Amino acid sequence: MKLRFCIYFTSLIAFSVMAQVPSPSSNVTIEDRSGEVINLQQQQRRVSAAYEQMKKAQYEGRMAAQEFQNAQENFLVTQKKADALKAELEKLTARREAAEQKRVAAEKEYDTQLNAIPTR
């Protein structure tokens, strides 16, 4: 893309120089030549503006790609943390359920032992 712009810009400069040098056999007036130069200068300004827009768009594209990559990396890190927390939660849930089962068994044993005492 850069090479194509350089070739195009060089050809515009060469054309500009050729347009400014009047040929001896030409019947074109100076006013016609100055109009061509003005048109060429306008074209050069448009090409330059388009080039600047292209460079700006390329920069914005690179920034967007970098932001996307950062967000993707942050997502993966967050996902790993979430997975670790989920595993810890599952472990603690199993531990709580085991403790609840022990409590229920202990209450049953207590009731059994309490009921085994003879009453008078």
Q: 56 is in which domain, residue-wise?
A: 2-21+29-116
pTM over 0.85: no
Render each residue's pLDDT in the chain as its tens digit; 120 residues: 565 655 665 665 655 655 555 555 555 566 667 778 889 999 999 999 999 999 999 999 999 999 999 999 999 999 999 999 999 999 999 999 999 999 999 999 999 999 999 877
Tally of domains within the chain: 1
CA 39, CA 37: separation in Å to the nearest integer? 5
3-state class (DSSP) for residue 29: coil
Q: Which of 109, 89, 107 is nearest to 97 (CA)?
A: 89
Q: What is the CA radius of gyration of the chain?
A: 42
